[in-house]
Every structure is written in structure tokens, then in C-alpha cells.
A and B are shown apart, each in its own frame.
Chain A
Amino acid sequence: MNKRARNRLIGVTAIVLLIIGVVLVTTMQSNGAYSKSVDDVLKDKTLVGKRVRVSGSVVPGSWDKGSNPMNFAIKAEKGGEGGVIKVSYKGAAPNTFGDGVVAIVTGTLQSNGQIESSDMITKCPSKYESATGAMTVANLVADKDMGITFTKVTGYVVPDSLVAPGSSERFKISDKPDGSGVTVSVAYAGAVPDGMTAGKKIVVSGKPNKDGTFAAAEVAVDAAQK
């Protein structure tokens, strides 16, 4: 290739790459966000003024969906030191948003410790139980002779079956949301989780009693529930 053409080729390539580079760097600076934990954000003062992406569970009662910008607080999902970050969020809240829901918030950390954000996605919190691996009610009933020691069962809360703690039958679950079909009575003395209402899919861990009821050690809402 003659020298002039080669030089022009290199020159034009360099200009194109330079322009792309400049565009890239400027947008990266304004849109890049560091993935940090709740503790990191609370402790690391160098993050102030920077964009961060924090994942935490929404502190119950700390939010009001109607207000805009919506203020709420998040805390570490598991472990951590219990600190809480306040978030000021502009935009529509995802419809899965609520108490205990894990929110991945991307925004700028202010000097007052608050995060200003307009970018949030929500995930199902890990303290909800996953229904994968849990037995269905019908199979639990059919297999009560198998001598199961400890297992998970998933089903829908039968309407009007939930009563206050103290009785041997706390609530019933069935494989159908309207409560028809095979049901099983569950004995449970603890607090039922928020969001456990009639027709809701829950996951119960425990073991079946000889009389056909199920003794629950833990009750959680199915992780995939909205």
C-alpha cells in the first residue's frame, strides 16, 4: 500500500478509536457503579459522591409507595453489623417491592449517608424459602407410611383456616389456592410470616405426626411469591 494511503488509514482509525474512547470514558464515569455491601457503604467514606450498587433487604415499615421520591431503608440480608442505609428513590417502585424484599439499589452516595437512586431492581429475599425440593400436600398425605423424619412441604393456605396460636391445628394447607382437594392440618406455635394470607403459597418445614397432622418447625412464604 502506498505510504500516503497507509498513513491516512492509520490516522482515520486512530481518530475513530479516540472518539469512541472519549465517549466511553465520559459515560463510564457517570454510569459506572461499584458493587458494595451495606457495611462497606456505611464505613467507607471514600465512596461518598460515587455511584454504588448495594443489595439489601427493605426494612419493614420504612417505606411509603405513594410518595415520590420514595424514601426507604435497607439493611444487610444476612450477617453484617445491623447497620441501615437510607435510600431516596425517584421513579416507579417495582410491584414486587415491600417489607423484607431484597432491593438492588444503584445510586449516588450522599455525604449524609443517604443514597439517591433512580435505578432499582428487586429480588425475592433469601429468608423466604424456596419451594424447590419441597413435597406437595397430596404426596405427603399419600406417603405418610414411609416414615419421613424431616421434610419440607409446600401448599396454599386454606381460606379461613388460620387461627391464633394455642390450638393443635393452627392452619390448613392444600395443593389448590381455593382450598379444595387434599388438605393437611399444620400444628405450629410460632409467629406466621408477613404475607401469609388465604390462598398464599407457603413452605412448611417439619415432620408429619402419627395422627396425620404436620408438626411445623418453620413456616415461610414461597420465595417465588409476589
Chain B
Amino acid sequence: MTSFGNLLLALGLAGAIASVLALLWGDRLGKKDGERATNVGYLVTFGVAILLTISLGLLLVAFFRNDFTFQYVAENHSTDVSSLAWLFKISAVWAGREGSLLLWAWMLSLFGSWFAYKRLDVTDRLSNMGLMVVNVVQALFFAAMLFSNPNDPFKASPAEWLGPNGQLLISSAMNPLLQHWAMILHPPTLFIGYAGLTLPFALAVAAIIVNDGSRDWVDLIGRETVFAWLFLGMGIGLGAVWAYVVLGWGGYWAWDPVENASLLPWLTGVGLLHSFTVYRRRDGFKKWAISLAGVTFALVILGTFITRSGIVQSVHAFDKDPFSLYLFLFMILGALAVTIGGMLWRGQTFAGHDEFESLTAKEAAYYFNNVLMLVAAILVAYLTVSSALPRFFPGGGQNFSAATYDAVARPVGILYVLILAFCPLLSWRKTEGATLWERVRWPLVSTAILSIPLLAEWYFNLRPIYAAQNPTAPALVSAMHNIEAVVGLVVGAFAISTAIFLFVDGARKRAASRGEGFGTALWQIMSKARSQTGGYITHLGVGIILIGLVGSAMFVRDIKIQVPATPGASAKAGEYTFVFQKVENNTLPNGDQETKAYFAVTRNGKSIGTLTPGQLAYAVQGQTRLNASVVSEPLRDVFVALEGQQNNQLSLNVKINPLIWFTWIGFAILLLGTTVALWPRGAKARELATSESRAGSRSAKANTKAAVG
């Protein structure tokens, strides 16, 4: 059965190549003569998607049947016996290296098919070339699975692994760390993002090939790019949640190479989305859009290059594989060469009409958005791969700890949120001083009001934590840390204030001019101007996230305590008292052994709940996983991991994470805002909007001509 899977992949490769050739040939012959070849290119794209769906189905069925003749099934089947067990049979498909690559290839084929279906009736040159590029990438993914043994999802298990009844003789199974609900969802959401970000790249290359600098290519995939970016963000968030509860160190982001890999395209993706806005509204930022489309795709591939090539050591990187190394390196360099090179070669076509007169222009804010995101992505990428670089590079051969990333990320992040807050208040081209003051007045007042509780929280609760955790820190270092925190909190409050102001002010103005009630006006704005509304909601979320980050990244209280294992015995960690109640040892039907320790937790005498940190010893895998326990208060989380037992004393690692719920809630709001921006309108409304904004960009061009002429 496994060789059938390989056959499907080989057919898929042939299909992708055939599609590329057909589309190129059809383009060469021209619109009329090439129509049949072009149609073949489109139809074969659907065929490739069907082949990949069958391949994935093959693997899925093998997991449900426990068919251990598939080496992948032998190595990745789950041992879970809870009610979620059947879900882990599905998630096993992407639990390992080979399966995750297959999943990604499948999603890419779905995006390709969606695009082909959308443009099948039109088959314009732009769409044809875009589909061609998608199929080139698709072919390379097939090559990755077919020509590299470590990547092959359809390897047959060695004969000695199997008994006469097909049972598995060896003790291999899914890594216990992956038997968690967040790990069911995290890879698929990430791969939807990665696969989806292939389309803006493909259409950017198509625009270069066809030499068309108009907004047409952006209109084709603009919304889909937001969709892909949204899912990438969800994937990153799920990874953070998983790290928090499963890895047992009490944090959600460690600047680990694999974490960084997923963040890089998300960062430049923000620049890409905003460049698309300027492209459509003002006929500008064209070179930015093309280059960021290429850079974002290159970073997507860089991510998988880092995890699969073996160049960087990480707790979750796969073993090294030279074929993957060269293939993905080729894709990264190729993507950059084609987009940036093409953009320079066709410079005139992509010259934008984005002149602006001063730094108080909205365009300036968008510009700094792009610069900061690009610089941030380059820095994180550089620091991640630095250990693989030769010595003569700055930092070459060296590894950098989280402290280095944090030192740069914090000030850049705070500056970024400040710009994000200001941008919607600015006008295109230039904002007059009086106008700016008019718009920023109320947000400043609101910021001052919001800052009062935030600064109180800093002064009374956060500041002492830093002093307690770092008693020997020099006064200057401590002052810098606290200044950074205060600035971060105030900027976060400012971002929240401007977002709220924009809704309130917009609704009031509309209510006044149309004679509507405030509530009606607000609802009308939110439901009609969805991109804008979604954007403001997202910005609001970012402000809240910043506040959460200040607390939970800069003021974590990390305490180790020992509690005697006799009921009623207690130990104190900070202001919290842990009273031991009991230990439960439980053997699950599959032989796993679960240990849970129960503690009643109080703060200053008030009970805040029961914590049950424990460990799960997986019988088959022979691995022990920490099951940390968290109790959330509004302003902080109490996180406890059971480290071990010695001489009738239980060792606990207690981490107090201030304001962490601001981070989670802010992130949820960010995702909500993006979803709102994405929500499709009826066809009629879409037509209306398109003609309105075309008029807008025409007048922008006219204004520019007038200003220059």
C-alpha cells in the first residue's frame, strides 16, 4: 500500500510539471490559439489536488486501521485513551516530519484549485501566470517528498518491526508532547497560513511577467492574503498556548528557532497587507508590495528550511537532511531573486504614485510600518541562524539567548505600536498641525485616564517583582527596565485609546451628518466599512497585547519551593501559600502512569483555587511529560509544575505571570478584528466599493500630477 502512495506523489509531480508547461505554452500561443493548453493547465491543477487528497486519505485510513506496514504510522500513532483519542488518529497525520510536508502540499493544492476555479471562466494572462507559479512551487514540494528519504511519508516499515498478525513489535509511538488538543490544531492552522502566502508571491511574479503594475493582481489575492495571515497568526497563538501548558517552563515564547521560523513571515505579512491597502487606495507602494510578497514567501520557506535542514539545533528541529537543505535554500534564493530582481528590471511599471509631503502623512506611517517589520524579521532571522554562519559574519558561530532578542524586540515593538496608534489619525500626504491636534486630543486624555490604573499596577505590583528577582542588578539596568515597562504600558493605553476614539468620533460625525442616532451610525460603520472596522479592532487588540507583554514577559516571578508531602503541610511562594492535600497515582488503560498532587492555594488568606500539578509517564514511549497546573486571577496567573519528589518533599516550580490574560485576550481581539476585515460582502456591495476606491486612486494620481506639474 505504501508504494501506491509513492505512485500518487509521482503522478502529482508529473501533473504539476505538466500544468506549468501547459500554461506557459498556452501563454506563448496567445489568447485564442493557446486557450486549450491554458485550460489543460487549469484542469490538471484540480487533478493534482485530487491526487494529494487521496494520498492524505491513504495515510488517514492507515492510522484508523493501525496499519503498521506504513513506517510513518508505526512512528507516529498516538497512545492516547481519552475521549479525544480518535482526534489524535487524525492529528497523527501531521505529527511527524513527512506527514506535515504532505499536509502542506495538500493545502497548497487546495489554494491552487480555489484560484483556478475562481479564474477558470476568465483565464486572463495574470491569472494564468499566477497559477503557473503556484504549480512550480507545488512541483518542488512533490520533489521534496519523492527525492529525499527522510521526507517520504510512504516508507514501508522494516519487516522485523511487524509480528505475524501485523502488530507492532517495537515500542515507538507519537511523542507525548504532541498528545494535546493545541497540537491537533496548531500545524493545520500554520500550514493554511504558509500555503496561503504562496499566492501573493505567485501573483506578484505574474504581475512582473505580464508587466502589469495596476492593482489587478492585488485585487485577485488581497483578501485571500488576509485569510492566510489570519490563520498563520492563529497557529502562532496556539503554539504559544501549548508551550505555556505543556512544556512546563511557565512561559509562552522562548525565541526558539522553530518559534521564530513561524513569526518571520507573520511580521513581513503585516507589511504586505498594509502595502496592499496603499496599492489599492492610492496606487502606491507597488515596489513594497512586490518585494514583501517575495520576502514573505521566502521567509515561509526559510522557516521550513530551519526546521528540516539540520543547520540549527533546537529542541524541536528535525534531523538534518542535505537534500532538503539545498532544495529549500534554492527556493528561498529563487523567490527573492525573481521578485526583487523582476521588480528592479521592470522598475517603471511598478513606479508608485505615492508622493507625500511630510512625515505627518499616513504614507509615512505605512512606510515606517514596513521598515520596522522588515528590519525585525531580518534581525530575528539572522539571530536564529547565526550559529550556522561562518566566523567572519558578526555573531557568526554564536548562539544567542532570549535576552538578546528581548533587548531589541522590546524597544522596536513599543515604537511600532506607537506608529500603529498614530497612523489612522493621519491624513494622506500631510496632516496639518491643527488637524492632528484636534484628532489626538481625546485619545491623549483617555490615555492619561487609562494609565492611572496601569501605572498603579506597575508601581505596586510589578516593580517590586523585578527588584526581588534581580537583587544584584545595577541601578541603571533596573531603571532602564522599569522605564521601558512604563513607556510600554502608556503606549499600549494610547493604542487602545486611539482605536476607541476612531469608532466614537466616526459614529458621532456620521450621526450628525445623516441625522442618525449614535448607535445606528456606529452599527452602520461597523457593518459597512468592514476593512477599516476590522483594522481598528485589530489595533485595539495590539494595544492590549502590549500591556500583557509588559507584565508577563518583563515581570515574571520565578520561585522554587519544597512542600512536605503530608496533608496540611504548606509552603509560601511570594504572596501565595500552597497547602498540600493529597497525591493521586493512577494507571491508565494503556499502561501510562499519572501522578497528580493536589494543593489548596491561598493569597493573603483568601482561597484562589486548587492546583493539581502532575506528571504523566507514557508506558510505550518511555517518556514523562509534565502536566502543569494554572490558576488564573484577573491580574496574574499562578503556574505550577511538579518537578519531582525527594525524601517525602515535593519540589514545585511556581511562576507568577502578571497580566498574562491581557496577552491572550488581546490576541483573540486581534484575530477577531482580522476576521471582521475579511468578512465577504454581497456582490453588489463589492462592485460599489471597487468603483469607489478606483475613483479614489484616480484622484490621487490627479492630485499628484497637479502637485508636480
Where the two chains meet, the residues of A that have a C-beta atom closer than 8 Å to any C-beta of B are 1-2, 5, 8-9, 12-13, 16-17, 19-20, 23-28, 31-35, 51, 53, 92, 95, 106, 119, 131-136, 139, 142-143, 146, 148, 151, 154, 175-177, 201, 222-226
Q: What distance in Å separates the Cβ of A142 from its nearest Cβ neighbour in chain B?
A: 7
Scan residues 367-423 of chain B and give those whose CB is less than 8 A from a CB of chain A.
367-368, 371-372, 375, 379, 386-387, 394-395, 397-401, 403-404, 407-408, 411-412, 415
Q: How far is the CB of B517 from chain A (nearest CB, A)?
A: 42
Binds A, one of B77-85, B93-101, B168-176, B671-679: B168-176
Q: Name the A residues within 8 Å of B643 (CB-CB).
A: 95
User: Is B114 in contact with chain A by the CB < 8 A criterion?
Assistant: no
Asked if B591 and A175 make an inter-chain contact with CB atoms under 8 angstroms apart, the answer reads yes
Q: Is B319 among interface residues, defined by CB-CB distance under 8 A?
A: no
In whole Å, how far is A135's beta carbon from the nearest beta carbon of chain B? 5
Give CA–CA (A176, B590) in the complex, Å: 10
**B64 at interface by CB-CB < 8 Å:** no
Given known A23-B411, A53-B399, A222-B622, contact A5–B357 (CB-CB < 8 A)? yes
Interface residue ranges of B623-675 to A (CB < 8 Å): 623-624, 643-644, 651, 653
Cβ-defined contact, A24 with B399, below 8 A: no
Bound complex: CA A92 to CA B167 (Å):
44
The answer to whether B171 touches A136, judged by C-beta atoms less than 8 angstroms apart, is yes
Residue-by-residue, is B585-615 near A (CB-CB < 8 Å gives 1, otherwise 0)?
Answer: 0000001010000000000000000000000
Q: Nearest chain B CB to A161's CB is how many angstroms away? A: 19
Shortest A88–chain B CB gap in Å is 16
Instruction: Supply 19 A–B pairs (Cβ within 8 Å), ascending by A.
Output: A1-B356, A5-B359, A13-B371, A24-B379, A31-B403, A31-B404, A32-B400, A32-B404, A33-B398, A35-B398, A51-B398, A95-B643, A131-B171, A135-B169, A135-B170, A136-B169, A177-B619, A222-B622, A225-B624
| Nearest residue, chain B, Cβ from A13 | B371
- Is A34 a contact partner of B403 (Cβ separation < 8 A)? no
CB of B434, distance to nearest CB on chain A (Å): 19
Please name all residues of chain A whose beta carbon is closer than 8 Å to the beta carbon of B161 when the two chains form the complex.
133
Q: Please name 16 further chain A to chain B contacts, defined as beta carbons within 8 Å, in addition to the given A24-B408, A27-B404, sorted by A numbering.
A: A9-B359, A9-B367, A23-B407, A24-B407, A26-B407, A27-B403, A28-B394, A31-B401, A34-B398, A95-B651, A139-B169, A142-B163, A143-B163, A176-B591, A177-B617, A226-B624
- With CB as the reference atom, state the residue of chain A lying closest to B382: A24
Cα of A13 to Cα of B621 in the assembled complex, Å: 53
- Count, A-B residue pairs, CB within 8 A: 127
Tell me the bound Cα distance from A92 to B560 in angstroms: 8
Q: Which 8 interchain pairs have the tightest Cβ spacing?
A: A32-B398, A27-B407, A224-B623, A222-B622, A31-B404, A139-B169, A95-B643, A201-B622
B399 touches A5 (CB 8 A): no
Q: Is the interface of A mostly helix, strand, loop or mixed?
A: mixed
B619 interface neighbour in A24, A53, A176, Cβ under 8 Å: A176
C-alpha spacing A152/B172, complex, angstroms: 13
Complex Cα distance, B167 from A17, in Å, reads 60
Complex Cα distance, B20 from A211, in Å, reads: 64
Question: Would A106 and B358 count as touching, CB distance under 8 A?
Answer: no
Q: Smallest Cβ distance from A160 to chain B, in angstroms?
A: 19
**Given A134-B170, A224-B621, A34–B593 Cβ distance below 8 Å?**
no
B364 within 8 A of A: yes
Whether A20 contacts B171 by the Cβ 8 Å rule is no
Distance in angstroms between the alpha carbons of A186 and B415 in the assembled complex:
66
Q: B401, B617, B622: which has the most chain A beta carbons within 10 Å? A: B622
CA distance A68 to B163 in the complex (A): 52
Q: Is the interface of B mostly helix, strand, loop or mixed?
A: mixed
**B398 surroundings in chain A (CB, below 8 A):** 28, 32-35, 51
Q: Which of A2, A146, A224 contacts B622 (CB 8 A)?
A: A224
Inter-chain contacts of B593 with A (CB < 8 A): 177
Residue B355 interfacial (CB < 8 Å): yes
Please give, as numbers and ranges, the residues of chain A lying within 8 Å of B624 by CB-CB distance: 224-226
Contact residues in B for A16 (Cβ distance below 8 Å):
368, 371-372, 415
Is B395 touching A28 in the complex (CB atoms < 8 A)? yes
Q: Return the contact of A133 from the options B170, B372, B400 (Cβ within 8 A).
A: B170
Chain B's closest residue to A55 (CB) is B313
Q: Give, as a whole number of angstroms, the nearest-CB distance from B72 to chain A.
A: 14
B404 and A225 contact, CB distance less than 8 A? no
Closest residue on chain B to residue A201 by CB atoms: B622
A170–B408 Cα gap in the complex (Å)?
59
Contacts of A27 in B (CB 8 A): 403-404, 407-408
Which residue of the partner chain, among A5, A143, A222, contacts B358 with CB atoms under 8 Å? A5
A135/B397 in contact, CB under 8 A: no
Most buried by A among B170, B171, B361, B407: B171
In the complex, per-residue mask of B547-580: 1 if CB is within 8 Å of any chain A CB, else 0: 0000000000000100000000000000000000
Which listed residue, A31, A35, A134, touches B171 by the CB 8 Å rule? A134
Chain B residues with Cβ under 8 A from A139's Cβ?
163, 167, 169
Binary A-proximity of B335-358 (CB < 8 A = 1, otherwise 0): 000000000000000000001111
Chain B stretch 658-703: residues in CB contact (< 8 A) with chain A: none
Central interface residue in A133, A154, A175, by most chain B CB within 10 Å: A133
Question: CA A97 – CA B10 in complex, angstroms?
Answer: 48
Contacts of A12 in B (CB 8 A): 359, 368
B404/A28 in contact, CB under 8 A: yes
For B169, list chain A residues within 8 Å (CB). Answer: 135-136, 139, 143
* Minimum Cβ distance to chain A for residue B351 (Å): 12
